[in-house]
Amino acid sequence: MSKIFEEKLEHLGIILNEKQMQQFYDYYEILVEWNKVMNLTGITEYEEVNEKHFVDSLSIVKAVDISNIQSVIDIGTGAGFPGIPLKIAFPHLNVVLLDSLNKRIKFLNAVIDKLGLEKIETIHGRAEDYAKQDEYREKFDLCVSRAVANLSTLSEYCIPYVHCGGLFVPYKSGDIDEEVENSKKAIHVLGGKLQGVIKFQLPKTEIGRSFVKIEKVQNTNKRYPRKAGLPAKEPLS
């Protein structure tokens, strides 16, 4: 277990017990093992995974008070970031992980099983399709995504999952001011309101990160999200 990892989490105000630290270590081991046969991450060195996947996932505490959140959906979760780290660090959360690749879902299920996580489920499918289902539409306190997509497109995928009063908070890097500006109309059309952009550096690094904090203020029109492929091809603007 890593002292450096613990120190970086302390910078975020997060203290983990022994069981949680072990879960993170087990997660790392499964990630590296499965990564040999499928492409989950280009980052495999232990401290780098801790920093760029685990600490990065948990840094959302800079933007959101997780103690007020009960349900989270992670759209395009990939290898489980940020959903699984959030679940480990904040066991009270009900977490749903959505990904369009079935082999990644198998990996996520193996992680959940190995770590003994409860109140967490995986869904194999497209964000556009599940957002139309009553079981998931406007049901979550918080929607997160580290997926690489334009903010207008990502908003159309994600805002429909959040109930009024809830939050959509995408993880972004680089200079995003123009992207945020260009997405304002889409956010409004989808029932969201831009609360602000939280910019920071990951603890003890030069890595710049931003959270775009979007509150859901109105129900999303039934038209959205549009059918599969359209949000990416023709972003709302």
- pLDDT tens digits for range 139-183: 999 999 998 889 999 999 999 999 999 999 999 998 899 999 999
DSSP labels, 185-215: HHHHHTTEEEEEEEEEE-TTS--EEEEEEEE
Would you say residue 117 has pLDDT above 90?
yes
What local confidence, expressed as pLDDT, does residue 205 receive? 85
Q: What is the pLDDT of residues 79-93, one digit of tens each?
A: 999 999 999 999 999
Asked if residue 110 lies in contact with residue 30, where contact means CB atoms within 8 angstroms, the answer is yes
Question: Two tokens at 234?
Answer: 């023709």
What local confidence, expressed as pLDDT, does residue 28 receive? 98
Angle between helices 18-35 and 102-115 (to 10 degrees): 150
What local confidence, expressed as pLDDT, does residue 237 receive? 77
Least confident of 3-7, 141-145, 165-169, 201-205: 201-205
Would you say residue 123 has pLDDT above 90?
yes
How does strand 208-216 pair with strand 162-172? antiparallel
CB within 8 Å of 35: residues ≥ 6 apart: 41, 44
Q: What is the average pLDDT value for the chain, to the nearest integer?
A: 95
Integer distance in angstroms from the first to the last C-alpha of the chain?
A: 47
Question: Two tokens at 67?
Answer: 């103690």
Q: Under the phi-then-psi rule, with left for phi > 0, alpha for psi from -120 to 50, and beta for the rest, what region is 132?
A: alpha
Question: Two tokens at 158?
Answer: 């994600």
**Alpha helix (H) ranges present in the chain?**
3-11, 18-35, 46-49, 56-58, 83-89, 102-115, 127-130, 151-158, 177-189, 230-233
CATH tag, 3-233: 3.40.50.150
What local confidence, expressed as pLDDT, does residue 203 receive? 84
